[in-house]
Chains A and B, each alone.
Chain A
Amino acid sequence: MATFTRPLVEPRPQSGGASATRADGIFRAVLIAISAFMLIVIAAITVFVFYVGWPSFSANGLSWFGSGDTPLDVELGYSFLGDPEGGRYTTLNAWPALLGTLLTTGGALLLSFPFALLAAIFIAELAPKRLAAFLDPIVSVLAATPSVIYGLFAILVLAPLIEQNLIPQDKAEQISPVVTLTGANVLLGILVLTLMIAPLMIAIFADALRAVPVKWKEGAIALGCDEWRMTRRVSIRAIRPALVAGTTLAMGRAVGEAIALSMATGSIAFIPNPLDGYFFFLEPVRSLASSIVDYSEGFESPELKANLFAFGVILLITTAALTIGAKIASRAAEKKLGGS
């Protein structure tokens, strides 16, 4: 490895003198102004979302987070059109939407993490160079594909397959008075999110694996580790900060995904029944983010608007907590790595 004896960046020749310093000053001021402006915009968005969504929380208190006797879709409908007597309607029990987000995001993370880690190890460590050079751009393209494409793939290709192969007619008949079972359900939501976030995780994990210093790996091999043990004990440990960061980034994308989930999860804010066995995963849900898109046509009703912005508040808090949590966790992992 080459060692650098001179600085990477040549100092600029000081021909301009005072005028160069002034240019630097102006440049710095412009950059500070731009960053400050970004911060103000973010703060303004946060304040606005909280302000508009607040009436929904204040009208319902803690029961906002619970599940009520009236289905969530009916409550959202009433908050748009008024209750059956024509009065305003402010009740909201958002548990079905919270559960929809939890189930789809959680399921997708459980499914995609091991898959992404193994795929990244293959691409970064085991695959022949040519194959890796072929797979790399594919992973990048998949990671950057717009979610609506995955949504279309889910509803046009996967949904009919699930409907024809996994849902027996007698069970569908038995459940039909409660809920219509179609190919779009929790399972399809998890699958479509997995398809979306796995490439993102693979790309981040593989980059991190490639950055693990070669001498660490060589050291492990020299000590008698086989390749698998070296990967497990050295590489995976070394990239723990990247594992945390990649997973969090993927989780952020999954939590906020609206369009693809709106198409894939069955369009009913239903609470799947764990007593239904594996049919639990074949029942529909509607996540927070997809509720916002699905009902966004009704913003002219102040009650519905407050409810949808309240969903936005939860999403804002979740993603902010994820980002901050990931920073802390990956810093802790780095520290541990540096110390040991």
Chain B
Amino acid sequence: MKKQLIILAATMAVLLAVTGTASAQVTKIVTGGSTGLQILGSALAAQYGKDTKGKVRVTVSGGGSGAGQTGAANGTFQIGNSSSDKSSSTPAGLTFTPITKEPFAIVVNPANPIKGLTGAQVKQIFLGQVTNWKDLGWAQGGAIKCFSRVATSGTRQSFQKLFLGSISTPVSNSCPALASNALDRSAVANSKSGIAFVTYAYTVGSGGATVKTLPIDGVTPTLQNVVSNKYRYWNCQYLVTKGEPAGDVKTYIDWVRGSKGAAVIKTYAVPFSGTYDQCVS
């Protein structure tokens, strides 16, 4: 019995020593926040790990854009991920460094014959001023079933800024406020007269095929149309730091905004290395 205990203790000590020395050589950068940035963030982290030959390990967790901003402010995250701009709830002293432009799309049921909408029509629908598809050219469409997101959603805030004119103009309270982009998409896929706003990522792939993405003002939301400035309904995604980025964090953010980061981002959104003011103007 005693012998076994000694062996166990020895093994543990060796293990501790090994992991201890290993972590001493690896720099860790803790990031987290926006669930919209989680997939892209993990892809960037993996590529950065390879580029630095494993010397820097970037960890990515979720929690929402708000959690990303608060985490950056109180030190939980060295970098907070945020899909929304600064708001009145954003803690003071944070620096928002943009890394992408992410298009926002309006989706309807595939059975909907409407060919496209104008930005003004989208605004009327989600403010509750137009409530019947017959007013938009679909005589048999019946009542419009608009689906929204809860007020804390970064997607909803960006939608309100882009389509309704201001980040704090609320979407009509007659639209059910669902808890995620995915639920909005499935609500529209299941309802012939449904309409919702989602981020670009939810309009591609097999999931994206369950709904119809509408051109807005005659322009289809694609990454190409954002790059060429034709589609104007996009919002930036940010890496948020307390104060200006410095040291290892700055090295990482510069890498993300450089050509190597852009190569990873291209699959998910439009790489952007401009300033915060260019994002919100």
Contacts and interface: CB of A to CB of B under 8 A. Distances in A.
Given A169-B142, A299-B66, A180 B175 contact: yes
A298 B152 contact: yes
B191 interface: yes
Contacts of A267: 150, 176-179
B179 A169 contact: no
Given A81-B87, A297-B153, A182 B167 contact: no
B173 interface: yes
A262 B174 contact: no
B150 A268 contact: no
Interface residues of A, number: 42
B173 A74 contact: yes
Interface residues of B, number: 41
A184 B184 CA distance: 13
A76 B173 CA distance: 12
A73 B179 contact: no
A160 B146 CA distance: 16
B152 A268 contact: no
Given A169-B142, A176-B144, A163 B191 contact: yes
A159 B190 contact: yes
A178 B174 contact: yes
A180 B88 contact: no
Interface of A is mostly: helix
A126 interface: no
A163 B142 CA distance: 14
B128 interface: yes
A81 B91 contact: no
B168 A84 contact: yes
A53 to B, nearest CB: 17
Interface of B: 63-67, 69-70, 87-89, 91, 128, 131-132, 142-147, 150-153, 157, 167-170, 173-179, 183, 186-187, 190-191
Given A267-B150, A297-B66, A304-B152, 4 more contacts: A86-B168, A268-B175, A297-B63, A297-B153
Interface of A: 71, 73-74, 76-77, 80-82, 84, 86, 155, 159-160, 163, 169, 172-173, 175-182, 184, 262-263, 266-268, 284, 293-301, 304
